[in-house]
Structure 1
Amino acid sequence: MKSVLLLTVLFLSTFCYSQKHELGNVTIDELKEKVCPSDTSAVAAVLFNVGKTYFSYAANEGFQLKTEVIAKIKIYKKEGYDYANQSISYYSYGGDVEKVDVSKAVTYNLVNEKIEKTKLNSEGEFNEKVNKFYSRKKITMPKVKEGSVIEYKFEITSPFFSTFPEWQFQKQIPVNYTEFTTYIPEYFTYNISFKGFLTPVIEKNGQRKSFDINSKERTSRARITSTQFSTETTEYGESISKYTLSNVPALKEESFVNNIENYTATIEHELSAIQYPGGLFNSYATTWESVTKSIYENENFGDELNKDSYFEEDLKALNVGAVSDNETIAKVFDFVKSRMNWNEYNSVYCDVGVRTAYKNKTGNTAEINLILVAMLRKAGVNANPILVSTRANGISLFPSRTSYNCVIAGVESNGKMTLLDATNKNAQPNILPIRDLNWFGRLIKKDGTSVNVDLMPKSNSKDVVSIIASVNEKGEVTGKIRDQYFDYNAFLFRQTNNSISKDSYIEKLEKRHQGLEIGEYSVQNSNDLSLPVVENYDFTSTNSVEIIGDKMYVSPFLFFAITENPFKQEKREYPVDFVFPDQDKFNISLTIPPGYVVETLPQPKAMTMPENIGSFKYIISNTGNQIQLLYTHDTNQAIIGSEYYEALKNFYKEIVNKQTEKIVLKKA
């Protein structure tokens, strides 16, 4: 089982008043600190965060895994109050469960030049059920205000040692000192993996440990029973590894990042082998093939997938026997989407099972999409489940039993793969919910073997805007707009706007663009997934033309212009994730006001990035009182490596320059 340390709180500032990382040593100077010396924008900082994971032996229970963490946090601003709260995830299903104990949780404040100490009370500590398998221990520290220092300790006791809690050295606030130490008996071997771009200092050591096994033996002689007690002491070697980092800067969010935790400095441990004295060598080493095989053989996956009697009558009613594969896929997919409702729980395993989920019309990702696969197979289609790690779950760089947390469906036909996810009402074949678009999944075949499947879209989703407008002598622009959304752009439009009223949407649109007033508005195909979403509306814009003297300076992109480069950093370590390839296309026709002529037009321009990652074309012309602008911007890859960052930054610089250039009109 994996116990993930989900710390809402953590990590630190670069000031350091004490070299000892112990609780209870809060000073007046620490409480008086107004800003973080290393990052004046920091809302909070972790003075230290120290953890250790070790094995504890109990006579009746054997080895247990224990993790202890102590932390000290400084709160600088109101926006940092959330760092005084903490959430710790733990496994809570069945007989073997994990336990979490919070202690020494104290808020320190400076009151009349004296240190006031407020302990966490029972009202600030509670457990929250996350799902069938996991719960959270949550604490909310008392009397938190600007200047507070927070301390706490927690312990996790776990009967599972297949994985350690992952340790994050880096957070979104500065970290002054972070330390994680593991104590591993010689019987256990772990695979260790690192994420992120920071390398901790590693110290390795060892020591001898022992545990006692108590036993008793009863003997009977001449009708007299006696009991003899004995203790056997077993010695073993224990390897100690300490990982430290100091003065870690805050992990800054950047534009177009998939999941920042993919790039956060982290260490993970997964069990590789166990060999007790005199026992057999048990290998737990994982490959992608073994991970998927173990999931497939689990009764809550493979056995559930093979059930099909519960939907037979409904499948017959769909009358899919005499139609093509594509029609069968469409009918079954639409039926499952319509019938089933996702309970917003991601899992590779069924919870209540496919029969109950089907009956109740509600299920998790595994139940809904295993139902879909089973129905497609029953209908004669070559369908298989695909294991996915959602974007929130992160990218799995190494094989692990916790690599995947979601299931979708895949259909192979005529040498092509069609991806399906019936948990979302707006999904279509090869148009998946955004959470699924996370590099690669693993397709499991009927015989239990598996292959990688690329989840990322390859074709560009279009957004086509047509504008016919006129500029009057006051500089007001009036006209009509037709905006067509295709594929993933249509999916996102439906996800965002289908649940709100037309008035609310128009209000949102007008607030987004200063000086915009929308008149008559209509939208087509918002519920017809086979067609693009089409918006038509009349508009007036009072913010697209500047009049200086006898000249007008017109922004031809009106309120659609990209006015700021989203890529501002000098360097970038993370890939740029646009989610899906995209094409923005504009066809703009402007009529200039009577009595004016064009003095200058922007120059046409075309630009292409290396490897054809992206391109744009800007073509503008003038005939009489008509100005025509044709613009196409293609982003041809969903994910762009950081090695192309400088080129991408310059590419967007040119886009901003072109889209903000003015047409100059002068009086004739």
Structure 2
Amino acid sequence: MNFKRTYITFLLAFFCFLGNAQKYELGNVTIDELKETKHPIDSSAAAAVIFKTGKTDFFLTNDGEWKVTTEVNYKIKFYKKEGFDYATHSVPYYSGGARNEIVNFKNAYTYNLVDGKIEKTKLKSDGEFKEEINENVKVKKITMPQVREGSIIEFTYIFNSPNITTIDDWYFQGDIPMNHVEYRIFIPGYFQYRTVLTGYETVNSKNESVALGQFLKQKYTYTVDNVPPIKEESYINNIDNYTAILKHELASISYPNEPIRNLAITWDDVVKSIYDHEDFGNELENKSYFEDDLKIILEGLATDEEKIKAIFNFVKNRMTWNESNGVITDKGVRKAYKEKTGNVADINLMLTAMLRYANIQANPVLLSTRRNGIALFPNRTAFNYVIAGVEVKNDVLLLDATNKNATVDLIPLRAVNWSGRIIRERGSSNEIDLLDVPISKDNVIILAEIKEDGKVEGQLRRVLTDYNSFMHRENYTNVNEDSYLEKLENRYKGISIEEYKVDNLKDLNKPVIEQYTFLHENDVELIGNKIYIKPLLFFALDENPFKLNQRKYPVDFPFPFKDTYNISIKIPEGFEVEYLPEGTSVALENNYATFKYLISVTNNNIQLVANLDVNTFYFPAENYEALKDFFRLIVEKQTDKIILRMKN
């Protein structure tokens, strides 16, 4: 009897094991899954990944070359039509030489519930596409058929690559929920990889030695369940910095009876390999193409400051950036100079060479753009951008001639990303803090009065400095005045602007100054014998930009700033103040941000001074709740209305 009970228990356990083993295999779509109308954890989700599984393995070809094959399986459920974008899937691959990569899709089906039965539709050839990004990169894409609310799709893609140096990043997280994600990688004992797992999700991992085929391999398994979507919110530079992603880079190779090839690299190794590249270091030595022009530019200039500005402006005005990044030149500096266009390296290595020609101590500075992400560890793709650095005393002035509105030591925001590395001719390199930037000011002065009909009439003067002026020029230098005023009137609903004037729009070394008169009709409410006014008028912050109850990743502000408002509002004849909001002064921990709000009445005028200072680029996640409360207080103060009542 005990034997039977044990045997039955064994069978049940065995079948449960089989059920679990098959759970994350394609083809097991059930009626219950198709009937599901909302995600069990995230009811707002428009779609969800039921599972995503992957396996990466290494093989030797008949020619003795290594090949890496990754097979990825997806099963995705659609709840709302807003999620239909996930019925299209794209995989980029390299296709620019002898070592081409190959991508193939298979097992692609859409499942629907029709009259209580499962209907299965296969992807046909007209749903598969190939796109060319450039001469080296293509994209294989599929769009699944018959997708509607309630559908489930499944597909597999196989990615073959001869590149073992880096393995494609594996994403455990996306912008829809993922119920189960599993990744297995089998690495031959000859190879050691450096791995980094980013993000804030807990991913389980284990490893074991396995004998597969002719090699002993190390098997690494990574799993995670119920992964929430990574949600874009205000103030994020690059969401991938905070997404759960597994990254690999080859560190060493150890073949039998051969010495170990150590590929593990330091930052010095990275910068040396870049500097030694013929399309980098050699380009800095090439001077003959610009000498005649530069002699004219430098004529009569005595100081280094004058020479730096003259050379910088010359390159900015002559060259046009083709919007391509890279630390290696595309055309080469000589050809780029002749054609007056080039990539980042073409333009800024040219700039560096010219500065050196003028006996300025200039060197290239390597960095990673915000879109490229933070350079977490030394690797060959950590940097994707290069600018010029001029060393003066104990400081380094940063110059980027790809942007017409950049100035000396004020580079475009795309390049302001944590830290870079300056490379000197002698081969040394040092880290450069890219976040050491001035506080950008936005200073607004308003003189206003409330008219009998409840409208507010006034004059405004606004002064923008540093990155505030840079962004204004980026957005509006090439916009005609009528179009700009239309945008301004759309932003501040209910405003009419007259007598507009702007100073220093093209004088990059001075702040942008705007002045205009306005009539605004949405700031005042007339109720009975009382008038209700928003103290900051149309500049009031009406809602908190931070809405998540919890945020696992930090808050990234574009740049530190100081917003100052000095507003004077004349009280209309026959009215007096019944209620005036209280002033306040608050500061966050470490003085990350401060808010001061002072309001008073003097000589029948309401005087308001409001200052918001954000003194850092970066707020850690543990400070999110305090930051959210800080902005909640700002909203409350700026929307707390002054009340005027008619005198008896």
TM-score, length-scaled by structure 2: 0.93
Are 1:27 and 2:27 matched, yes or no? no
Instruction: Name the counterpart of 1:245.
Output: 224
CA–CA distance in structure 1, aligned partners of residues 309 and 433 of structure 2: 22
Instruction: State the partner residue of 2:591.
Output: 612
* Letter paired with 1:243: Y
- DSSP 3-state at the match of 2:289: helix
Task: Tell me the residue number matched to 1:422.
Answer: 401
| 1:458 correspondence with 2:437 | yes
Q: Determine the structure 1 residue equivalent to 2:642.
A: 663
CA distance in 1, matches of 2:562, 2:455: 29
Q: Spell out, residue by residue over 1:361-404, the C-alpha distance to the aligned partner (whole angstroms, 9 max, x if none).
A: 11111111111111111111111111111111111221111111
1:143 aligned to which of 136, 143, 146 = 146
Contact map agreement 2:348 2:388 (CA 8 A) in 1: yes
Q: Secondary structure, in 3 states, of the residue corresponding to 2:486?
A: helix
Distance (Å, rounded) in 1 between the aligned partners of 2:132 and 2:296: 40
Return 588-597 or 100-109, whichever deviates more: 100-109
Residues 540, 638 of structure 2: 8 Å contact kept:
yes
User: In the alignment, what sits opposite 1:44?
Assistant: 47
| 1:110 equivalent among 108, 113, 130 | 113
What residue is the counterpart of 1:3 in the other structure?
A: none
> Aligned ranges for residues 200-211 of structure 1 at < 5 Å?
200-210=203-213
Instruction: Kindly provide the amino acid, as one letter, of the partner of residue 43 in structure 1.
Output: A
1:495 aligns with 2:498: no
Amino acid at match of 1:609: L
User: Does residue 567 of the first structure (1) align with residue 541 of the second (2)?
Assistant: no
Residue correspondence of structure 1 range 344-355 to structure 2 within 5 A: 344-355=323-334
Three-state SS of the structure 2 residue aligned to 1:164 is strand
Identify if the C-alpha distance between structure 1 residues 508 and 118 changes in structure 2 by more than 3 Å, giving closer, same or farther: farther
Query: Match of 1:300, SS?
Result: coil
Report the Cα offset of residue 129 of structure 1. Answer: 3.0
Q: Is the Cα contact below 8 Å between 2:298 and 2:310 reproduced in 1?
A: no
Q: Compared with structure 1, are the counterparts of its residues 277 and 428 closer, same or farther at alpha carbon in structure 2 (3 Å cutoff)?
A: same
> Partner amino acid for 1:85?
T
Any idea what SS the aligned residue of 2:28 has? coil
Residue pairs, 1:66-145, within 5 angstroms: 66-145=69-148
1:268 to 243, 247, 253: 247
Q: Distance in 2 between matches of 1:29 and 1:405?
A: 48
Letter in 2 for 1:662: K
Matches of 1:257 and 1:90 in 2, distance apart? 28
Structure 1 CA distance for aligned equivalents of residues 525 and 159 of structure 2: 64
CA distance in 1, matches of 2:61, 2:21: 36
Alignment of 1:207-606 (within 5 A): 207-210=210-213, 235-319=214-298, 322-606=301-585
Query: How far, CA to CA, are the matches of 1:344 and 1:142 in structure 2?
Result: 36
Cross-structure match for 1:11: none
Measured after TM superposition, the shift of residue 114 of structure 1 is 4.0
Distance 1:310 1:543, change over 3 A: same
Task: Describe the SS at the equivalent of 1:192.
Answer: strand
Are the counterparts in 2 of residues 457 and 580 from structure 1 also a CA contact under 8 Å?
A: no
- Of 424-433 and 177-186, more deviation after overlay is shown by 424-433
Q: Give the C-alpha shift of residue 454 in structure 1.
A: 0.7
**Which amino acid letter does the alignment assign opposite residue 46 of structure 1?**
V
Residue 278 of structure 1 aligns to a residue whose secondary structure is coil
Partner SS, residue 328 of structure 1 = helix
Residue by residue over 1:473-493, the C-alpha shift from the partner in whole angstroms, topping out at 9 and shown as x without a partner, is: 222111121222111011111
Tell me by how many angstroms 1:286 deviates. 1.4
Q: Is contact 2:438-2:466 (8 Å) kept?
A: no
Residues in 2 aligned to 1:552 and 1:29: alpha-carbon distance in whole angstroms: 60
Change in CA separation of 1:46 and 1:385 when aligned onto 2, cut-off 3 Å:
same
Provide the residue aligned with 1:58 in structure 2: 61
Going from structure 1 to structure 2, the CA distance change for 1:285 and 1:414 (only over 3 Å counts) comes to same
* Distance across 1 between alignment mates of 2:34 and 2:324: 42
In the TM superposition, what is the alpha-carbon distance from 1:273 to its structure 2 partner? 0.6
Letter in 2 for 1:653: R
Give the drift of 1:320: 5.1
Distance 1:544 1:410 in 2: 48
Report the Cα offset of residue 316 of structure 1. 1.4
1:623-642 matches, within 5 Å, as 623-642=602-621
Q: Find the aligned partners of 2:580 and 2:478 in 1 and give their Cα distance.
A: 42
Distance 1:95 1:309, change over 3 A: farther
Can you list the C-alpha shifts for 1:115-154, whole angstroms capped at 9, x where unaligned?
4433333343333333454332222333333222222211
Task: Give me the TM-score of the superposition, normalised by structure 1.
Answer: 0.90
**541-550 vs 603-612, which moves further:** 603-612
Distance 1:262 1:547, change over 3 A: same
1:111 and 1:51 mapped to 2: Cα distance?
Answer: 31
Q: 1:408 to 1:375 in 2, by over 3 A?
A: same
Q: In the alignment, is residue 643 of structure 1 matched against residue 622 of structure 2? A: yes
Distance (Å, rounded) in 2 between the aligned partners of 1:354 and 1:135: 28
Q: Quick one: distance in 1 between partners of 2:269 and 2:20?
A: 50
1:28 maps to amino acid: I
Partners of 1:337 and 1:141 in 2: CA distance: 47
Q: Which residue of 1 aligns with 2:12?
A: none
SS in 2 for 1:496: helix
Amino acid at match of 1:342: W
Distance 2:291 2:334 in 1: 12
Distance 1:611 1:406, change over 3 A: same
* Structure-2 change in CA distance of 1:74 and 1:178 (3 Å): same
- More displaced stretch, 238-247 vs 597-606: 597-606
In 1: Cα distance, 2:90 partner to 2:346 partner: 28
Q: CA RMSD in A?
A: 1.9
Structure 2 segments unaligned to the other structure (5+ residues): 1-18
| Counterpart code for 2:133 | V
Q: Distance between the aligned counterparts of 1:150 and 1:357, measured in 2?
A: 48
Taking every aligned residue pair, what percent have the same amino acid on both sides?
50
Cα deviation for residue 409 of structure 1 reads 1.4
